[in-house]
Structure 1
Amino acid sequence: MRIDAHHHLWTLARGGYGWLTPALAPIHRDFSLADLAPHLAVADIQGTILVQAAPTEAETVFLLDIAAKAQVVRGVVGWTDFDAADGGARIDVLAAHKLLVGLRPMVQDIPDDDWLLRPALAPLLAAMARNNLVFDALVLPRHLPRLLRLADNHPDVQFVLDHCAKPRLATGEIADWQGDIALLAERPNIVCKLSGLATEAAVGWQILDLRKVVDHVVACFGTDRLMWGSDWPVVNLAGGYEKWFAAAEALLADLSVDERAAIFGDNAARIYLSSRGRKLEAN
């Protein structure tokens, strides 16, 4: 089964999307599963992982409700307040929803670069581990050394590196990123999401502009710890779903059939869904 391991849906009237301003005109509107369906059909995708876009628990409930009514959504990566004193208990309650497969603090928007190293996170990560929830790491290159320490301190937590940590493709300043990615990939509890690269590249990007980054994550993580995601509808800011999907297929064309199948679905099923008992069968 092909799985899009990273997409969003939102209804602006709900609020909470502080980052989503009118300046982002192509995506400053509501997006529903009906809008996504044609893209999934073109890419022959049978399942998706729906990821939070607002830092509220109401967002998590909103996405879980969508997933409960749509077979195509196989799991939800939600949000909870990782700074709350009762954060561990909140995670236990949320984990009762079997469609919740992970949680994602929006680290890239947190002013404190050392937030990932706060001792207060330990009980929350323990709650995630006992509930088999994945920690989606929405981080920037500068956060990678902290994420490395976090992963070492919590070897029982499965981490997913969103958007390859957003390398600076537009400027080509990726040397430090390359070194940090190589170190992260040595940790068995980290996998990398091949997503979000189009919006980090220069305007009018071409496939060759992404080659060095994609080749690096494939070499470091291997094909059993990479998963493809569209980052739709954000990808509409940089060419759209079909352009990014076609680019990913072209960039991975030299891999075997089984290796491509792993990146385009099997790994997401294993990492996100199997441990939560989520139904894996296609419609």
Structure 2
Amino acid sequence: MMRIDSHQHFWRYTPQDYRWISDEMAVLKQDLLPQTLQLALQRHGIQGTVLVQACSSVQETRWLLELAGQHDFVRAVTGWVDLSSPALQQALDVISHPLLRGFRHQVQDEPAPAQWLADPAINAGLRQLQKQEYVYEILVTHRHLRDAVQFAERHDNYFLVLDHFGKPDLSLGAAHWKQQVAPLAALKHVSCKLSGLLTEPRPAGMSARDLLPYFEAALEVFGAERLMFGSDWPVCLLADTDENPWDLCQQATTTLSSDEQAAIYGGNACTVYQLQPLPITGND
């Protein structure tokens, strides 16, 4: 089974395209490209990744697909498309690619995320995506998990994936988050990425180890069969220098069975994103 990082990004940094990168995120204000990530993947035994959009741009999606075609470790791409466009099908036809397996929009950055999730044009667009078996990744914060449930209930014809645990409010604790996310986890077509926790705002004194109860809660409500490891590289570089997502998830899953670990570290991503086996190399 391939070990898969289900969530990573690349970009050539420009302030106008990546407005979400604030002045406090100086380490992200640079080009972050495959060669740099590849070293980390090798250190942590990761054979493949899912490359995810980071700005609302079809041009970025085309570029990500070009990169994916040049680097064998990128096994799938989650891109961006304007779901509300009357010309959505034309846009999908233009960017169609064997490695394009899903789409995402940074709903959390919308002025009114709940309104966006309820928009009839957006919902019509998502129905169209699901008919063509594209995964859709939901990027919201804890403030809009209830709206995400209603959204997900309307769209059960293909896989939906909740990014970054749904960005919990860490000041309220794992039990509160579990209660919030349980209605979404009850929908069997929804999976969750074990990603992003290290860079969520933490109460003073909260260590990386204090995040482990969130993994335990995720296992209780989603089960190992609907969870996927994701590094959120390079955003994870914002964490303290002695913290990284690979080690954190390893700590959280060390007591699981080998089958459960295989599911979280690759099996589930292979199913959701229809990943193809790596080519066999070496001497005959």
- Taking structure 2 as the reference length, the TM-score comes to 0.91
Query: What do the CA deviations read for 1:75-131 (whole angstroms, capped 9, x no partner)?
Result: 11111112322224423443x211111100110001113211111123311221122
Range with bigger deviation, 203-212 or 130-139:
203-212
> 1:177 is matched with which residue?
177
Q: How well do the aligned residues superpose, as a CA RMSD in angstroms?
A: 2.0
Q: Distance in 2 between matches of 1:113 and 1:28?
A: 26
Q: CA deviation at 1:174?
A: 5.3
* 8 Å contact kept, 1:91–1:124: no
* 8 Å contact kept, 1:47–1:282: no
* 8 Å contact kept, 1:230–1:241: no
* 8 Å contact kept, 1:51–1:78: yes
Q: CA deviation at 1:144?
A: 1.2
Q: Distance in 2 between matches of 1:61 and 1:98?
A: 12
> 2:126 is matched with which residue?
125
CA spacing shift, 1:125–1:6, aligned 2, 3 Å: same
**Following superposition of structure 1 onto structure 2, how do residues 1-283 of structure 1 map, counting pairs within 5 Å?**
1-13=2-14, 15-94=16-95, 96-114=96-114, 115-169=116-170, 171-172=171-172, 176-202=176-202, 205-239=206-240, 243-274=244-275, 278=276, 280-281=278-279
Q: Distance in 2 between matches of 1:192 and 1:16?
A: 27
Flag as ranges the 4+ runs of structure 1 deviating above 6 A.
Answer: none
| Counterpart residue type for residue 45 of structure 1 | I
Number of corresponding residues: 278
Where in structure 2 are there 5+ consecutive unaligned residues? none
* 8 Å contact kept, 2:7–2:231: yes
* 8 Å contact kept, 2:198–2:208: no
* 8 Å contact kept, 1:273–1:280: no
Identity of aligned residues (%): 38
Query: What do the CA deviations read for 1:133-166 (whole angstroms, capped 9, x no partner)?
Result: 1101111112111111122111103110000001
* 8 Å contact kept, 2:194–2:228: yes
| Counterpart residue type for residue 100 of structure 1 | L
* 8 Å contact kept, 2:136–2:161: yes
| Counterpart residue type for residue 46 of structure 1 | Q
CA spacing shift, 1:21–1:282, aligned 2, 3 Å: farther
Q: Distance in 2 between matches of 1:185 and 1:58?
A: 33
CA spacing shift, 1:193–1:241, aligned 2, 3 Å: farther
CA spacing shift, 1:124–1:31, aligned 2, 3 Å: same
Q: Distance in 2 between matches of 1:200 and 1:186?
A: 24
